[in-house]
Amino acid sequence: MKRFFKYIGFGLLLALPWPVLAEEAPLTEVAYILNTFSFLISGVLVMWMAAGFAMLEAGLVRTKNVATICLKNISLFGIAGILYYLVGYNLMYKGVDGGIMGSLGLWAADDSAALAGDYAAKYAAGSDWFFQMVFCGAACSVVSGCVAERIKLWSFLLFCVVLTGLIYPIQGSWVWGGGWLSEMGFSDYAGSTLVHSVGGWAALTGAVILGARKGKYSKGGKVNPIPGSNLTLATIGTFILWMGWFGFNGGSALALGNAGSAIEQANVYINTNLAACGGMIASMILVQLLYKKVDVTMALNGALAGLVSITAGPAAPSPGGAILIGAVGGILVVLAVPFFDKLKIDDVVGALSVHLVCGIWGTLAVPFSNSETSFLTQLLGVVAIGAFVTLCSSLVWLAIKYTIGLRVSEEEEYVGSDVAEIGMEAYPYFQGRNIN
Protein backbone atom coordinates (compact mmCIF):
# COMPACT_ATOMS: atom_id res chain seq x y z
CA MET A 1 0.00 0.00 0.00
CA LYS A 2 2.84 2.42 0.85
CA ARG A 3 4.34 1.73 -2.58
CA PHE A 4 0.97 2.49 -4.21
CA PHE A 5 0.73 5.92 -2.58
CA LYS A 6 4.38 6.52 -3.46
CA TYR A 7 3.61 5.99 -7.16
CA ILE A 8 0.48 8.14 -6.93
CA GLY A 9 2.49 10.94 -5.38
CA PHE A 10 5.17 10.62 -8.06
CA GLY A 11 2.54 10.84 -10.80
CA LEU A 12 1.02 13.95 -9.28
CA LEU A 13 4.47 15.50 -9.07
CA LEU A 14 4.98 14.89 -12.79
CA ALA A 15 1.73 16.66 -13.55
CA LEU A 16 2.65 19.82 -11.70
CA PRO A 17 3.74 22.76 -13.86
CA TRP A 18 7.09 24.44 -13.55
CA PRO A 19 7.06 27.51 -11.32
CA VAL A 20 7.15 30.82 -13.12
CA LEU A 21 10.73 31.85 -12.56
CA ALA A 22 11.49 34.61 -15.01
CA GLU A 23 11.48 38.12 -13.59
CA GLU A 24 12.36 41.51 -14.95
CA ALA A 25 16.10 41.59 -15.53
CA PRO A 26 17.99 44.32 -13.69
CA LEU A 27 18.76 47.18 -16.03
CA THR A 28 22.52 46.78 -15.97
CA GLU A 29 25.07 46.61 -18.76
CA VAL A 30 25.79 42.97 -17.96
CA ALA A 31 22.10 42.06 -18.23
CA TYR A 32 21.89 44.00 -21.50
CA ILE A 33 24.87 42.09 -22.91
CA LEU A 34 23.52 38.70 -21.82
CA ASN A 35 20.07 39.39 -23.27
CA THR A 36 21.62 40.49 -26.56
CA PHE A 37 23.87 37.44 -26.63
CA SER A 38 20.89 35.15 -26.05
CA PHE A 39 19.03 36.67 -29.00
CA LEU A 40 22.01 36.38 -31.32
CA ILE A 41 22.93 32.79 -30.43
CA SER A 42 19.30 31.67 -30.47
CA GLY A 43 18.84 33.38 -33.83
CA VAL A 44 21.82 31.49 -35.25
CA LEU A 45 20.27 28.23 -34.04
CA VAL A 46 16.97 29.10 -35.72
CA MET A 47 18.84 30.01 -38.90
CA TRP A 48 20.47 26.57 -38.68
CA MET A 49 16.93 25.17 -38.93
CA ALA A 50 16.87 26.41 -42.54
CA ALA A 51 19.52 23.77 -43.25
CA GLY A 52 17.33 21.25 -41.45
CA PHE A 53 14.31 22.05 -43.62
CA ALA A 54 16.49 21.84 -46.73
CA MET A 55 17.91 18.43 -45.81
CA LEU A 56 14.57 17.04 -44.67
CA GLU A 57 12.85 18.10 -47.87
CA ALA A 58 15.77 17.02 -50.06
CA GLY A 59 15.52 13.56 -48.55
CA LEU A 60 11.74 13.28 -48.98
CA VAL A 61 11.43 14.48 -52.59
CA ARG A 62 12.46 12.33 -55.54
CA THR A 63 16.00 12.52 -56.89
CA LYS A 64 14.92 14.52 -59.94
CA ASN A 65 13.74 17.40 -57.72
CA VAL A 66 16.49 17.58 -55.07
CA ALA A 67 18.53 20.44 -56.54
CA THR A 68 15.41 22.57 -56.97
CA ILE A 69 14.22 22.02 -53.42
CA CYS A 70 17.66 23.03 -52.12
CA LEU A 71 17.54 26.18 -54.24
CA LYS A 72 14.05 27.03 -52.97
CA ASN A 73 15.09 26.71 -49.32
CA ILE A 74 18.10 28.98 -49.54
CA SER A 75 16.26 31.46 -51.80
CA LEU A 76 13.28 31.82 -49.48
CA PHE A 77 15.60 32.61 -46.61
CA GLY A 78 17.18 35.41 -48.65
CA ILE A 79 13.74 36.76 -49.52
CA ALA A 80 12.64 36.63 -45.87
CA GLY A 81 15.70 38.61 -44.76
CA ILE A 82 15.21 41.40 -47.30
CA LEU A 83 11.42 41.68 -46.95
CA TYR A 84 11.56 41.65 -43.16
CA TYR A 85 13.99 44.58 -43.37
CA LEU A 86 11.98 46.50 -45.95
CA VAL A 87 8.51 46.18 -44.40
CA GLY A 88 8.11 43.12 -42.17
CA TYR A 89 9.59 44.18 -38.84
CA ASN A 90 7.92 47.59 -38.62
CA LEU A 91 4.64 46.13 -39.83
CA MET A 92 4.83 43.59 -37.03
CA TYR A 93 6.14 45.69 -34.15
CA LYS A 94 6.07 49.45 -34.73
CA GLY A 95 2.98 51.28 -33.54
CA VAL A 96 0.59 48.32 -33.31
CA ASP A 97 -0.90 49.52 -30.00
CA GLY A 98 -3.66 46.93 -29.72
CA GLY A 99 -4.60 47.17 -33.39
CA ILE A 100 -4.26 44.91 -36.44
CA MET A 101 -0.87 45.98 -37.84
CA GLY A 102 2.08 48.28 -37.36
CA SER A 103 3.47 50.80 -39.81
CA LEU A 104 5.14 50.58 -43.19
CA GLY A 105 8.78 51.57 -43.51
CA LEU A 106 12.37 50.41 -43.36
CA TRP A 107 13.64 48.99 -40.09
CA ALA A 108 16.43 51.00 -38.49
CA ALA A 109 18.31 50.26 -35.28
CA ASP A 110 18.35 52.84 -32.50
CA ASP A 111 20.82 51.98 -29.74
CA SER A 112 21.65 55.54 -28.72
CA ALA A 113 20.19 55.16 -25.23
CA ALA A 114 22.30 52.09 -24.46
CA LEU A 115 25.42 53.81 -25.74
CA ALA A 116 24.65 56.63 -23.29
CA GLY A 117 24.35 54.22 -20.36
CA ASP A 118 20.57 53.69 -20.33
CA TYR A 119 19.79 49.97 -20.67
CA ALA A 120 15.99 50.15 -20.42
CA ALA A 121 15.70 48.60 -23.90
CA LYS A 122 17.14 45.37 -22.37
CA TYR A 123 18.93 44.27 -25.58
CA ALA A 124 20.50 45.63 -28.75
CA ALA A 125 17.94 46.49 -31.43
CA GLY A 126 19.79 44.53 -34.10
CA SER A 127 19.73 41.34 -32.03
CA ASP A 128 15.95 41.54 -31.77
CA TRP A 129 15.57 42.16 -35.52
CA PHE A 130 17.78 39.19 -36.37
CA PHE A 131 15.95 36.86 -33.99
CA GLN A 132 12.53 37.86 -35.34
CA MET A 133 13.69 37.65 -38.96
CA VAL A 134 14.75 34.02 -38.78
CA PHE A 135 11.29 33.13 -37.43
CA CYS A 136 9.81 34.71 -40.54
CA GLY A 137 12.03 32.52 -42.70
CA ALA A 138 10.98 29.40 -40.76
CA ALA A 139 7.29 30.04 -41.49
CA CYS A 140 8.07 30.22 -45.20
CA SER A 141 10.10 26.98 -45.07
CA VAL A 142 7.00 25.07 -43.99
CA VAL A 143 5.36 25.83 -47.33
CA SER A 144 8.26 24.66 -49.47
CA GLY A 145 8.08 20.96 -48.74
CA CYS A 146 4.32 20.66 -48.98
CA VAL A 147 4.04 22.03 -52.53
CA ALA A 148 7.26 20.47 -53.80
CA GLU A 149 7.74 18.60 -57.11
CA ARG A 150 5.05 20.41 -59.14
CA ILE A 151 5.25 24.16 -58.44
CA LYS A 152 7.21 26.60 -60.60
CA LEU A 153 10.32 27.99 -58.94
CA TRP A 154 9.64 31.69 -59.52
CA SER A 155 5.94 31.33 -58.75
CA PHE A 156 6.82 29.84 -55.38
CA LEU A 157 9.37 32.57 -54.65
CA LEU A 158 6.82 35.26 -55.57
CA PHE A 159 4.44 33.79 -53.01
CA CYS A 160 7.28 33.88 -50.46
CA VAL A 161 7.62 37.63 -51.05
CA VAL A 162 4.01 38.22 -50.04
CA LEU A 163 4.07 35.73 -47.16
CA THR A 164 7.20 37.14 -45.52
CA GLY A 165 6.55 40.79 -46.33
CA LEU A 166 2.85 41.06 -45.53
CA ILE A 167 0.94 37.99 -44.36
CA TYR A 168 3.33 36.78 -41.66
CA PRO A 169 4.10 40.17 -40.06
CA ILE A 170 0.46 41.35 -40.05
CA GLN A 171 -0.84 38.33 -38.17
CA GLY A 172 2.27 38.33 -35.99
CA SER A 173 1.50 41.89 -34.89
CA TRP A 174 -1.79 40.66 -33.42
CA VAL A 175 0.07 38.81 -30.68
CA TRP A 176 3.80 39.50 -30.47
CA GLY A 177 3.44 43.10 -31.61
CA GLY A 178 0.91 43.91 -28.88
CA GLY A 179 -2.12 43.73 -31.16
CA TRP A 180 -5.76 42.87 -30.50
CA LEU A 181 -5.23 39.17 -29.77
CA SER A 182 -2.53 39.99 -27.26
CA GLU A 183 -4.94 42.39 -25.55
CA MET A 184 -7.45 39.54 -25.24
CA GLY A 185 -4.91 37.25 -23.55
CA PHE A 186 -3.99 34.93 -26.42
CA SER A 187 -0.69 33.18 -25.69
CA ASP A 188 1.80 31.65 -28.13
CA TYR A 189 5.24 31.51 -26.50
CA ALA A 190 7.33 30.71 -29.58
CA GLY A 191 4.92 30.27 -32.47
CA SER A 192 2.91 27.03 -32.66
CA THR A 193 0.27 29.16 -34.39
CA LEU A 194 2.10 32.35 -35.38
CA VAL A 195 4.87 30.47 -37.21
CA HIS A 196 3.98 26.82 -37.77
CA SER A 197 0.23 26.99 -38.32
CA VAL A 198 0.68 30.08 -40.47
CA GLY A 199 3.05 28.14 -42.69
CA GLY A 200 0.62 25.22 -42.57
CA TRP A 201 -2.42 27.26 -43.68
CA ALA A 202 -0.41 28.83 -46.49
CA ALA A 203 0.81 25.37 -47.54
CA LEU A 204 -2.70 23.90 -47.40
CA THR A 205 -4.17 26.49 -49.74
CA GLY A 206 -1.23 26.07 -52.09
CA ALA A 207 -1.55 22.29 -52.17
CA VAL A 208 -5.29 22.46 -52.86
CA ILE A 209 -4.97 25.01 -55.66
CA LEU A 210 -1.95 23.25 -57.20
CA GLY A 211 -3.47 19.80 -57.09
CA ALA A 212 -1.68 16.52 -56.49
CA ARG A 213 1.41 15.19 -58.23
CA LYS A 214 0.75 13.00 -61.25
CA GLY A 215 0.24 9.41 -60.19
CA LYS A 216 -0.21 10.13 -56.49
CA TYR A 217 -3.89 9.18 -56.44
CA SER A 218 -5.65 6.63 -58.65
CA LYS A 219 -9.18 7.21 -59.93
CA GLY A 220 -10.52 4.58 -57.56
CA GLY A 221 -9.22 6.50 -54.55
CA LYS A 222 -6.07 4.42 -54.08
CA VAL A 223 -3.08 6.26 -52.63
CA ASN A 224 0.15 5.45 -54.44
CA PRO A 225 3.22 5.99 -52.23
CA ILE A 226 6.00 8.04 -53.80
CA PRO A 227 9.20 7.32 -51.82
CA GLY A 228 11.72 10.06 -51.24
CA SER A 229 15.26 10.02 -52.52
CA ASN A 230 17.31 9.75 -49.34
CA LEU A 231 16.14 8.82 -45.85
CA THR A 232 19.64 9.52 -44.54
CA LEU A 233 19.33 13.18 -45.55
CA ALA A 234 15.82 13.34 -44.10
CA THR A 235 17.09 11.97 -40.78
CA ILE A 236 19.98 14.45 -40.69
CA GLY A 237 17.51 17.23 -41.43
CA THR A 238 15.34 16.16 -38.52
CA PHE A 239 18.31 16.17 -36.14
CA ILE A 240 19.27 19.66 -37.33
CA LEU A 241 15.71 20.91 -36.80
CA TRP A 242 15.61 19.30 -33.35
CA MET A 243 18.83 21.08 -32.40
CA GLY A 244 17.74 24.40 -33.86
CA TRP A 245 14.47 24.23 -31.95
CA PHE A 246 16.35 24.95 -28.71
CA GLY A 247 17.06 28.40 -30.10
CA PHE A 248 13.51 28.67 -31.43
CA ASN A 249 11.89 28.03 -28.05
CA GLY A 250 14.73 28.94 -25.68
CA GLY A 251 15.40 32.31 -27.24
CA SER A 252 11.70 33.14 -26.94
CA ALA A 253 12.21 33.62 -23.22
CA LEU A 254 13.45 37.02 -24.48
CA ALA A 255 15.90 37.42 -21.62
CA LEU A 256 19.01 35.95 -20.01
CA GLY A 257 19.86 38.80 -17.68
CA ASN A 258 19.14 37.20 -14.30
CA ALA A 259 18.81 33.84 -12.59
CA GLY A 260 15.06 33.62 -13.17
CA SER A 261 15.30 34.01 -16.93
CA ALA A 262 18.24 31.59 -17.07
CA ILE A 263 16.25 28.97 -15.19
CA GLU A 264 13.27 29.55 -17.46
CA GLN A 265 15.44 28.95 -20.53
CA ALA A 266 16.76 25.74 -19.00
CA ASN A 267 13.22 24.54 -18.32
CA VAL A 268 12.23 25.41 -21.90
CA TYR A 269 15.16 23.38 -23.24
CA ILE A 270 14.15 20.38 -21.13
CA ASN A 271 10.50 20.53 -22.17
CA THR A 272 11.37 21.05 -25.82
CA ASN A 273 13.58 17.98 -25.86
CA LEU A 274 11.15 15.79 -23.94
CA ALA A 275 8.23 16.76 -26.17
CA ALA A 276 10.22 15.68 -29.22
CA CYS A 277 11.04 12.39 -27.51
CA GLY A 278 7.40 11.85 -26.59
CA GLY A 279 6.19 12.63 -30.11
CA MET A 280 8.66 10.29 -31.77
CA ILE A 281 8.06 7.32 -29.46
CA ALA A 282 4.28 7.72 -29.55
CA SER A 283 4.24 7.84 -33.36
CA MET A 284 6.46 4.75 -33.60
CA ILE A 285 4.25 2.76 -31.24
CA LEU A 286 1.04 3.76 -33.03
CA VAL A 287 2.46 3.00 -36.48
CA GLN A 288 3.59 -0.42 -35.26
CA LEU A 289 0.12 -1.13 -33.87
CA LEU A 290 -1.70 0.07 -36.99
CA TYR A 291 0.58 -1.15 -39.78
CA LYS A 292 2.72 -3.84 -38.07
CA LYS A 293 5.93 -2.08 -39.17
CA VAL A 294 7.59 1.18 -38.19
CA ASP A 295 7.81 3.83 -40.90
CA VAL A 296 11.01 5.91 -40.68
CA THR A 297 9.33 9.03 -42.06
CA MET A 298 6.58 8.74 -39.45
CA ALA A 299 9.19 8.54 -36.68
CA LEU A 300 10.92 11.66 -38.04
CA ASN A 301 7.66 13.54 -38.34
CA GLY A 302 6.65 12.32 -34.88
CA ALA A 303 9.68 14.05 -33.37
CA LEU A 304 8.88 17.24 -35.30
CA ALA A 305 5.25 16.97 -34.24
CA GLY A 306 6.30 16.93 -30.60
CA LEU A 307 8.48 20.00 -31.15
CA VAL A 308 5.68 21.95 -32.85
CA SER A 309 3.20 20.92 -30.15
CA ILE A 310 5.29 22.24 -27.26
CA THR A 311 6.26 25.49 -28.98
CA ALA A 312 3.15 27.43 -27.88
CA GLY A 313 3.90 26.89 -24.19
CA PRO A 314 7.28 25.31 -23.43
CA ALA A 315 7.99 27.15 -20.16
CA ALA A 316 5.04 26.18 -17.97
CA PRO A 317 4.49 22.38 -18.28
CA SER A 318 6.29 19.89 -16.10
CA PRO A 319 8.67 17.45 -17.81
CA GLY A 320 5.95 14.82 -17.67
CA GLY A 321 3.44 17.26 -19.11
CA ALA A 322 5.81 18.09 -21.97
CA ILE A 323 6.16 14.40 -22.82
CA LEU A 324 2.38 14.07 -22.88
CA ILE A 325 1.89 17.14 -25.09
CA GLY A 326 4.51 15.85 -27.51
CA ALA A 327 3.05 12.33 -27.49
CA VAL A 328 -0.39 13.62 -28.47
CA GLY A 329 1.29 15.48 -31.33
CA GLY A 330 3.00 12.27 -32.46
CA ILE A 331 -0.35 10.45 -32.46
CA LEU A 332 -2.03 13.25 -34.39
CA VAL A 333 0.61 13.06 -37.12
CA VAL A 334 0.05 9.38 -37.68
CA LEU A 335 -3.70 9.97 -37.99
CA ALA A 336 -3.46 13.18 -40.03
CA VAL A 337 -1.27 11.87 -42.85
CA PRO A 338 -3.86 9.34 -44.14
CA PHE A 339 -6.62 11.88 -43.47
CA PHE A 340 -5.13 14.38 -45.93
CA ASP A 341 -4.54 11.56 -48.40
CA LYS A 342 -8.23 10.67 -48.21
CA LEU A 343 -8.99 14.26 -49.15
CA LYS A 344 -6.48 13.90 -52.03
CA ILE A 345 -4.39 16.76 -50.67
CA ASP A 346 -0.86 15.89 -51.70
CA ASP A 347 1.63 16.91 -49.02
CA VAL A 348 5.08 15.70 -50.06
CA VAL A 349 6.80 15.94 -46.66
CA GLY A 350 3.90 15.79 -44.19
CA ALA A 351 4.08 19.52 -43.41
CA LEU A 352 0.32 19.87 -42.94
CA SER A 353 0.20 17.06 -40.39
CA VAL A 354 3.27 18.31 -38.50
CA HIS A 355 2.99 22.08 -38.60
CA LEU A 356 -0.71 22.80 -39.13
CA VAL A 357 -2.40 20.06 -37.12
CA CYS A 358 0.13 19.99 -34.28
CA GLY A 359 0.43 23.77 -34.30
CA ILE A 360 -3.29 23.95 -33.57
CA TRP A 361 -3.05 21.25 -30.90
CA GLY A 362 -0.09 22.91 -29.18
CA THR A 363 -1.88 26.27 -29.04
CA LEU A 364 -5.05 24.76 -27.59
CA ALA A 365 -3.01 22.80 -25.03
CA VAL A 366 -1.54 25.94 -23.41
CA PRO A 367 -4.35 26.39 -20.81
CA PHE A 368 -3.61 22.93 -19.37
CA SER A 369 -0.40 24.30 -17.83
CA ASN A 370 -0.95 28.07 -17.94
CA SER A 371 -3.86 29.21 -15.79
CA GLU A 372 -3.60 32.77 -17.16
CA THR A 373 -4.91 31.63 -20.54
CA SER A 374 -8.31 30.36 -21.59
CA PHE A 375 -9.32 27.73 -24.10
CA LEU A 376 -11.85 30.02 -25.80
CA THR A 377 -9.28 32.78 -26.31
CA GLN A 378 -6.76 30.29 -27.68
CA LEU A 379 -9.41 28.88 -30.02
CA LEU A 380 -10.37 32.38 -31.16
CA GLY A 381 -6.73 33.10 -32.01
CA VAL A 382 -6.35 29.87 -33.96
CA VAL A 383 -9.53 30.54 -35.96
CA ALA A 384 -8.78 34.22 -36.60
CA ILE A 385 -5.21 33.67 -37.74
CA GLY A 386 -6.21 30.59 -39.75
CA ALA A 387 -8.98 32.48 -41.54
CA PHE A 388 -6.74 35.46 -42.30
CA VAL A 389 -3.85 33.40 -43.65
CA THR A 390 -6.13 31.08 -45.63
CA LEU A 391 -7.96 33.98 -47.29
CA CYS A 392 -4.82 35.98 -48.10
CA SER A 393 -2.83 32.95 -49.27
CA SER A 394 -5.65 31.74 -51.49
CA LEU A 395 -5.88 35.13 -53.19
CA VAL A 396 -2.13 35.22 -53.77
CA TRP A 397 -1.93 31.64 -55.06
CA LEU A 398 -4.86 32.23 -57.43
CA ALA A 399 -3.43 35.53 -58.65
CA ILE A 400 -0.15 33.80 -59.50
CA LYS A 401 -1.98 30.87 -61.13
CA TYR A 402 -3.95 33.09 -63.50
CA THR A 403 -1.05 35.42 -64.39
CA ILE A 404 2.38 33.81 -64.66
CA GLY A 405 1.16 30.29 -63.89
CA LEU A 406 1.65 28.15 -60.81
CA ARG A 407 2.36 24.61 -61.93
CA VAL A 408 5.00 23.13 -64.18
CA SER A 409 3.82 21.31 -67.30
CA GLU A 410 3.10 17.60 -67.21
CA GLU A 411 6.22 16.91 -69.23
CA GLU A 412 8.38 19.03 -66.90
CA GLU A 413 6.94 17.28 -63.87
CA TYR A 414 7.76 13.92 -65.48
CA VAL A 415 11.35 14.89 -66.28
CA GLY A 416 11.82 16.64 -62.94
CA SER A 417 12.21 20.27 -62.03
CA ASP A 418 16.00 19.95 -61.70
CA VAL A 419 16.44 19.45 -65.44
CA ALA A 420 13.35 21.33 -66.56
CA GLU A 421 13.73 24.52 -64.51
CA ILE A 422 17.34 24.93 -63.46
CA GLY A 423 19.22 22.65 -65.86
CA MET A 424 21.15 21.00 -63.08
CA GLU A 425 20.96 17.71 -61.19
CA ALA A 426 21.76 17.04 -57.56
CA TYR A 427 23.39 13.68 -58.34
CA PRO A 428 24.57 13.89 -61.99
CA TYR A 429 27.13 11.11 -61.75
CA PHE A 430 24.83 8.86 -59.81
CA GLN A 431 21.55 9.08 -61.65
CA GLY A 432 22.29 10.56 -65.07
CA ARG A 433 18.92 11.42 -66.52
CA ASN A 434 16.93 8.97 -64.46
CA ILE A 435 13.43 10.30 -63.93
CA ASN A 436 12.45 8.05 -61.05
Structure letter (DSSP) for residue 217? B
The predicted model scores a pTM of: 0.91
Dist. CA 341–CA 353, nearest whole Å: 11
Q: Lowest-confidence range among 3-12, 81-90, 233-242?
A: 3-12
Residue 72: closest CA among 426, 415, 405, 397: 426
In this predicted structure, what is the pLDDT of residue 221?
80
Question: Is 388's pLDDT higher than 90?
Answer: yes
Residue 28: closest CA among 258, 250, 254: 258
DSSP structure string for 17-45: PPP----PPP-SHHHHHHHHHHHHHHHHH
Structure letter (DSSP) for residue 356? I
The domain ranges of the chain are: 26-103+120-431
Q: Lowest-confidence range among 20-24, 214-218, 255-259, 279-283?
A: 20-24
**Contact call for residues 309 and 177 (beta carbons, < 8 A):** no
Amino acid at 70: C
Whole-number Cα distances in Å, 192 to 3, 61, 327: 39, 25, 16
**Contact call for residues 203 and 352 (beta carbons, < 8 A):** yes
Summarize pLDDT for 241-271 with one digit per residue, the tens. 999 999 999 999 999 989 999 999 999 999 9
Backbone angles phi, psi at 407, to 5 degrees: -110, 145
Which residues are CB-neighbours of 7 under 8 A, at least 6 positions away?
none
Out of 3.40.50.1950, 1.10.3430.10, 3.40.50.300, 3.10.450.40, select the CATH number for domain 26-103+120-431.
1.10.3430.10
In this predicted structure, what is the pLDDT of residue 430?
64
Dist. CA 226–CA 137, nearest whole Å: 28
Dist. CA 269–CA 70, nearest whole Å: 29
